[in-house]
Structure 1
Amino acid sequence: MMVERIMYVDSKTPVNCVFTVKINGVISEDHFKIALDKIQRKHPLLRAYIDHKNAKYPFFVEENDILPIPLRIVERKTDQDWLSESENEWYRIFEDPKKPLVQIVWVKGSAVSEILWVMPHSICDGTTGINLLRELCSLLDDPSAELGSYQTFSSVDDFLPADFNLKKNQRKARLYLIMAKLFFFIQSKSKKRNSGKNYALHRKLDTVISKKIVDKCKVNGISVHSLLCAAFMEAFKEFQGKKAKGKVISPVDVRNFIPEIKQDHIFAFAPTVELSLKKGQNLLENAQQIKKDLVEKIGKTEARELLWMGENMHPVVDRMISLLKSGKGGHDITLSNMGKIDIPNEYKNFKLETIYSPTVAFPWLNSNTLVVTTYNQQMDFTFMSNEDFLPKEDAKKIKDKAIELLTS
């Protein structure tokens, strides 16, 4: 799909998502192999590669003789090894047609381990990653469990409603394409690119502080997501002054709009909404307004049409990518709040101690990204960017200030 192509970028540019769990207990390597085999047999995209040579645009090809999901084992030495391994995996390129679009890293200790699930963003969203962690933990504990299977979608046409007016929308799509070509034609071409180091900052809040944030939201009739957006925009404003944009981009789970895409399906597209600070309002007033705006914008989202319209934009994808790589954008940060993670923490043979928020390193000029998850009543933050665009020390100040605003 066009949206998958944007996250694919090209054959030489990795954009990988890394999902990590921490486990207490002993894990069998044999169980690992059985679990990965069953997961690979369930999900068609884990038996595919990306062909970027034999057609005008790259496309997925299912490979009947695909190799098993690779498992890389490293010795666990510190509690931070998972984060350094995560950063290493950002730069893995999945290009071998005989190997699947996935890599597992087992940071193995005698009693404690972290498991990293690494995939190109072009095949997965946050819900995909969490589901794969859920399936893996279940099978590591009980390798006799069965997962079933499903047929992947062949094109975005599979999502079109019965009353979709094809002729009307084809005219609309052609007009959008003409407008897009004109837009990119008049855009000044910038050679600016990030050449600094990508980084990830991590912070896990304890149950007391996490509960304090949730209670604050309940008392004031706001959502955790709206408070997160308001707090981080305020923090950017405090440290960047007039340079701050006062806007965030928030991805929304596409499954909210297209129920044919199940919770346990691998899928990559997440519609986004833009949310803004309002001048002259305090933190809580902004959070209340953001909650209202978010509900309204989600209600207007036409995900099926967005996917279909996107397929008519393939001719300008390269120019879209070029603009993302060179443009500062109109937002402070992309903020993904994945909410409460629904994975058991007690298994027969081990305990799932915690889940870390996913990490990713975007090649865009504005690579500011925040992912928030909650597991076992603990909120977890990963803040990613590039030293060229946002120095790491500045990012630390913004992150700390935002958390201070959340908890004050």
Structure 2
Amino acid sequence: MMKRRLMMVERIMYVDSKTPLNCVFTAKISGELPEGHFKNALVKIQQKHPLLRASIDEKSERYPLFVEDREIAPIPVRIVERHTDEDWLRESETEWFSLFNEEKKPLARLVWVRGKDVSEILWVMPHCISDGTTGVTLMRELFDLLDDPSLELKPYYAFNSVNDFLPTDFDTKNKKYKAKLYLLFARAFFLLQRKSKNRNTGKNYALHRKLDPVTTSLITEKCKANGISVHAILCAAFMQAFQEIKGKKAKGKVISPVDVRHFIPEIKQDHLFAFAPTVDLAIKKGSSDLLNNARQIKTDLVQKIETMEARELLWMGEQMHPIVDRMIAMLKSSNGGHDVTLSNMGKINIPDDYKNFKIETIFSPTVAFPWLNSNTLVATTYNQQMDFTFMSNENFLPKEEAIKIKDKAIELMTTSL
């Protein structure tokens, strides 16, 4: 039975029991989806993943815990009738603010936007148990089981603490000394900070854009021809777009999450996990050479990934629990030093053609961060179509400005290469 403390980064993404921070993953399907198959599929998925049989206990100990519950309820499905192609986005925004705080209820739910010939399926989970790879895994498992109810999934054991991921030669003694210094400096930093009353009081929103296969192919082929990655051109284009629209207020920096599974193979591709180490990527202020910026970003990203110590980052984070509440308070009140958090999930590895239905498309995940700087871009590619969701808060980045930034970035990628 799993009973473990939330990791430091999980605590940040949990925030607290009164603050929703949910990820929503959506796919569009054509064909018949028998309602009875959902129950079987969700039971098997819940039996596989320990975090889907757990709740969060804030009362038993100083810090919140994941506690597995043998009497946990099944993953619920909410069905709504489909009227337009935009219903999924409205339902996604509704689910951002629905808490996972009911006793005996799991940390996941499904929304079925049901139409006669076309439906959207939305997986909803708190960010503290889910990264992008988690959403892809659960979507793929759901479709496999809806198509073949006899399929069996292999359960796995939950880890007990980050120590499970440490190598035998990990120098805990010296690392503890380093961690104590970091904690001391962090406490001093927070003591020197003036308490800010800044908060996002506006409405969260999500913008969506899907490129057609021809435009997507144009971007990817030109990236190959110029020796740059799609991720690098995304970062360069959006930073330049921020500069052109925001002027001197632009920061010229993005925060880019990296899948931790690249560094810690014990965390399998089909395991639920929330921690994604990040790298900062920047361009020179005023620089408008998209290709040169993208080349520099690619070089910087490769260097930072090569030197990243993900296991040590996990362990070091666990020494920072005493200041997590201050970190959260700062995120809620600070403008930050970046334009946007940019997550490029790349090609989505889910088949499009099943025996009984077809996956028309997959939309990039949506999320509404409660931070003051809630600018978030997620990019995915499925069926040769690049897809974007751009989220923020009207109070921090007016929606009209966000539309201009999104459109300018896509224009740069399609006309400047």
TM-score norm. by structure 1 comes to: 0.99
Residues 250 and 275 in structure 1, CA contact (< 8 A), matched pair in contact too: yes
Q: Does 1:2 align with 2:8?
A: yes
User: Gaps spanning 5+ residues in structure 1: where?
Assistant: none
Give the distance between the partners of 1:143 and 1:347, measured in 2 at CA.
Answer: 13
Matches within 5 A, 1:42-57: 42-57=48-63
Structure 2 counterpart of 1:295? 302
User: Among 68, 77, 80, which residue is 1:62 paired with?
Assistant: 68
Instruction: Spell out, residue by residue over 1:154-199, the C-alpha distance to the aligned partner (whole angstroms, 9 max, x if none).
Output: 1000011111011111111111110110011101110100000000
Q: Does 1:19 align with 2:30?
A: no
Q: Does 1:98 align with 2:98?
A: no
Structure 2 counterpart of 1:310? 317
**Offset at 1:281?**
5.7
1:262 is paired with a residue whose SS is: coil
Structure 1 counterpart of 2:366? 359
Residues 240 and 288 in structure 2, CA contact (< 8 A), matched pair in contact too: no
Give the distance between the partners of 1:310 and 1:53, measured in 2 at CA.
Answer: 22
Code of the residue aligned with 1:306 in structure 2: it is L
Matches within 5 A, 1:184-203: 184-203=190-209
1:66 is paired with a residue whose SS is: coil
Give the distance between the partners of 2:308 and 2:104, measured in 1 at CA.
Answer: 38
Give the distance between the partners of 2:258 and 2:322, measured in 1 at CA.
Answer: 26
Give the distance between the partners of 1:111 and 1:154, measured in 2 at CA.
Answer: 45
Matches within 5 A, 1:128-143: 128-143=134-149
Structure 1 counterpart of 2:339? 332
Structure 1 counterpart of 2:114? 108
Q: Does 1:384 align with 2:358?
A: no
Give the distance between the partners of 1:210 and 1:348, measured in 2 at CA.
Answer: 28
Instruction: Spell out, residue by residue over 1:57-93, the C-alpha distance to the aligned partner (whole angstroms, 9 max, x if none).
Output: 1110000000000000000000000000000000010
Code of the residue aligned with 1:216 in structure 2: it is K
Give the distance between the partners of 2:40 and 2:64, measured in 1 at CA.
Answer: 31
1:11 is paired with a residue whose SS is: coil
Q: Does 1:399 align with 2:411?
A: no
Give the distance between the partners of 1:63 and 1:152, measured in 2 at CA.
Answer: 13
Structure 1 counterpart of 2:3? none
Give the distance between the partners of 2:225 and 2:160, measured in 1 at CA.
Answer: 46
Give the distance between the partners of 2:98 and 2:274, measured in 1 at CA.
Answer: 18
TM-score norm. by structure 2 comes to: 0.97
Identity over aligned residues, as a percent?
72
Code of the residue aligned with 1:380 in structure 2: it is D
1:122 is paired with a residue whose SS is: helix
Structure 2 counterpart of 1:215? 221
User: Among 78, 81, 84, which residue is 1:72 paired with?
Assistant: 78
Residues 50 and 97 in structure 1, CA contact (< 8 A), matched pair in contact too: no
Q: Does 1:321 align with 2:328?
A: yes
Code of the residue aligned with 1:307 in structure 2: it is L
Give the distance between the partners of 1:92 and 1:129, measured in 2 at CA.
Answer: 18
Which portions of structure 1, spanning 4 or more consecutive aligned residues, are displaced by more than 6 angstroms?
A: none
Q: How many pairs align? A: 408
Instruction: Spell out, residue by residue over 1:83-129, the C-alpha distance to the aligned partner (whole angstroms, 9 max, x if none).
Output: 00000000010012300000100000111000000000000100001
Residues 373 and 380 in structure 1, CA contact (< 8 A), matched pair in contact too: yes
2:27 is paired with a residue whose SS is: strand
Code of the residue aligned with 1:319 in structure 2: it is R
User: Among 180, 188, 202, which residue is 1:182 paired with?
Assistant: 188
Instruction: Spell out, residue by residue over 1:223-278, the C-alpha distance to the aligned partner (whole angstroms, 9 max, x if none).
Output: 00000000000000001111100000000000000000000000000000000012
Give the distance between the partners of 2:313 and 2:70, measured in 1 at CA.
Answer: 32
User: Among 344, 350, 355, which residue is 1:343 paired with?
Assistant: 350
Give the distance between the partners of 1:89 and 1:217, measured in 2 at CA.
Answer: 36
User: Gaps spanning 5+ residues in structure 2: where?
Assistant: 1-6
1:255 is paired with a residue whose SS is: helix
Q: Does 1:39 align with 2:45?
A: yes
Q: Does 1:87 align with 2:87?
A: no
Give the distance between the partners of 2:103 and 2:127, measured in 1 at CA.
Answer: 17
Alignment RMSD: 0.6
2:206 is paired with a residue whose SS is: strand
Give the distance between the partners of 1:314 and 1:165, measured in 2 at CA.
Answer: 20
Code of the residue aligned with 1:42 in structure 2: it is K
User: Among 282, 286, 292, which residue is 2:289 paired with?
Assistant: 282
